[in-house]
Structure 1
Amino acid sequence: MKPLRLARLILLLGLALLLTACHRDGKLPWRLTDISGHMPDLAFQLTDDHGKPVTGEDYRGKVVLLYFGYTHCPDVCPLTLAHLHAVLQRVGAKADDARILFVSVDPARDTPAIMHAYVNAFDKRAVGLTGTPRELEALSKRYRSAFTREPSQANGQYEVSHSSAIYLFDRQGHARLLATPAASQDDLVHDLYLLLETGT
């Protein structure tokens, strides 16, 4: 047997043993913050980056990574999306069952077309979501997030201060985990793989 194939087999057997042990006591070895039962299910009515109305139900069957941000963000948003892209790349083919939902906190500038170009520059499994100010504020409050538009600069540009948590939902739309952009790739890969593998 080739060394690479043997290494993969050992890795899969190790993961199977780990999952078996975890299911015996009913707990999974999460590395991120477990928010099961402390946050509401994934639910919203917004517009995706193709201009199509969508709801949380449209993403049932996928593991969702929800993040609030905006396309003019100078630092944390592009860094976070690049970080999540790297995580999905490391997860491999299973990541096709995951979706990054990038929810705009700047609906005045983030049209569906702008959102589409922005998120696709990072990952093809990312979806840009926008809506009315009221819809976005309601979704932000639902997950105890927050955002505030800063005063405009002399050139008319402005920034939006916003929370930077990443919310992970299982295939049934239940809130399961919370991460910050500072969470290591290793921890995100570990927990995302478990969510994708177990389906719960």
Structure 2
Amino acid sequence: MPCRYLIALSLAASLLAACSSGEPEWNGHDIAGIMPDLTYELTNETGETVTEAARADHPRLMFFGYTYCPDICPITLARIQAALKQLPEAQREAMRVLFVSVDPERDDPARLREYTSGFGDQVIGLTGNQKQLKALHKRFRVTYGYGEPDEDGFYLVSHSSAVFAFDRQGQARLLFNQDVTADQMAADLSRMLASAP
């Protein structure tokens, strides 16, 4: 399912839930009960194979991208960083950001570690082989693809720009698209974390 249809479906569900419950609307899209729990098997920045259990009991944000991305990735990670800075200290320190590279050919653990270090200690670089990446993308109904290399071998990668938010139990809760500001993201995350058991 293309990302635009997922967002439209999530928005519709969010509006219906808000109308029926009397709760204020989210700035992002409420995907609780629509998207599956966080599950993955990937390689981290030190070359170790890890699963979602590695960050158990931490609320997490997950974003797909690659380190050679010229615009969406650095802008999105900077927006996430700005949002996290607005959270109360306890909430901010609990949060983890999973930056999943869909370009394992160029983004080895060392490259990921260098890239994510520019966005704060809470950002963790992950990648995997094509089988692992495709399974994760299928699970969350998003896609990625590779452009043709230029004469220098450089190529662009198309990928989802959505940021997924999961609670401490790894349950999908929110989806942020590029229209959600850092302030709005911070408000949603604080509300999500405050309401968590």
Q: Do the structures match in fold with TM over 0.5?
A: yes
RMSD: 1.6
CA contact (8 A) 1:97 1:196 kept: no
CA contact (8 A) 2:79 2:181 kept: no
Distance 1:165 1:51 in 2: 26
Which of 56, 61, 65 matches 1:65?
61
Distance 2:92 2:24 in 1: 19
Q: In the alignment, what sits opposite 1:163? A: 160
| Aligned partner of residue 191 in structure 1, secondary structure | helix
Which of 61, 71, 78 matches 1:75?
71
Distance 2:83 2:95 in 1: 11
Q: Which moved more, 1:46-55 or 1:125-134?
A: 46-55
CA contact (8 A) 1:36 1:177 kept: yes
Q: In the alignment, what sits opposite 1:46? A: 42
Distance 2:122 2:65 in 1: 17
Q: In the alignment, what sits opposite 1:110? A: 107
> Quick one: percent identity of the two aligned structures?
42
* 2:80 is aligned with 1:89: no
Structure 1 runs of 4+ off > 3 angstroms?
25-29
Gaps in structure 1 of 5+ consecutive residues: 1-21
Q: In the alignment, what sits opposite 2:15? A: none
* 2:14 is aligned with 1:34: no
Gaps in structure 2 of 5+ consecutive residues: 1-17
Q: In the alignment, what sits opposite 1:142? A: 139
Deviation at 1:195, TM superposition (A): 2.0
Q: Rg bigger for which structure?
A: 1
Distance 1:26 1:98 in 2: 28
Closer/same/farther in 2, CA of residues 196 and 132 from structure 1, 3 Å limit = same
